[in-house]
Amino acid sequence: MELTINGKTQQLDDAKLGEGNMPLLWVLRDVMNMTGTKFGCGVAACGACTVRVDGQAVRSCVTPVSAVVGKSVQTIEGLGADKLHAVQQSWIAEQVPQCGYCQSGMLMAAASLLESTPEPTDAQIDAAMSNICRCGTYQRVRAGIHRAAKALAAGGDGAAKALKGVPA
Ligand code: FES
Ligand code: FES
């Protein structure tokens, strides 16, 4: 089976992937040793396992690996591979995480939201971010998304200032 993960295409043995039935989450974590994507509920309820498939946020615990053949999968390991993504920088600036367990899924969902909705309202953030955080970081997640949206809209030096909270 040929998979493209974080820009790299590789062949994996079908037998190791349950002939394509293994959830993508377990392929990432157990076959590829990419443990940034987390297991929470296993039933598409919490969002801890969120990755992006062709740019869309997807719950990898309920996605059979065969469903992503020929598609581009991005995990948290690939989101800031060259330079931290705006959401990662804004998460640091807003000190969003508490324990951190849910946060890779939050970041992947936030990055997808900002591509489809570059300046989301609080209501749009709440509707899109169905991920669960047991530490209750929801207010800071919102703040992080707003900061990243401003930075992406400003671009260049303006982005750097927005990410640091410096008025443009
Ligand atoms: S582990 Fe996938 S949604 Fe909870
Ligand atoms: S930061 Fe702890 S579960 Fe979200």
Confidence at 166, pLDDT banded by 50, 70, 90: low
Domain parsing of the chain, residue ranges: 2-77, 86-164
pTM (two decimals): 0.93
Confidence at 168, pLDDT banded by 50, 70, 90: very low
Tell me, in angstroms, the distance from the centre of ligand 1 to residue 48's CA: 5
Tell me, in angstroms, the distance from the centre of ligand 1 to residue 86's CA: 24
pLDDT in tens, 104-123: 999 999 999 999 999 999 99
Q: What is the pLDDT of residue 81?
A: 85
Tell me, in angstroms, the distance from the centre of ligand 2 to residue 20's CA: 31
Q: DSSP labels for 1-58? A: -EEEETTEEEE--GGGGGGGTSBHHHIIIIIS--TTSPPS-SSSSS-TTEEEETTEEE
Report the pLDDT averaged over residues 57-69: 97
Pocket probe for ligand 1: among 43, 51, 129, the residue whose CB has the most ligand atoms within 8 Å is: 43
Residues of the chain with pLDDT > 90, as a percent, come to 85
Q: Kindly indicate whether the domain formed by 2-77 is annotated with CATH number 3.10.20.30.
A: yes
Mean residue pLDDT of the chain comes to 93
Q: Kindly indicate whether the domain formed by 86-164 is annotated with CATH number 3.40.50.2020.
A: no
pLDDT in tens, 141-160: 999 999 999 999 998 666 76
Report the pLDDT averaged over residues 4-29: 94
Answer yes or no: is pLDDT of 102 > 90: yes
73-83 core/surface letters (b: 16 or more CB in 10 A; e: else): bbbbbbbeeee
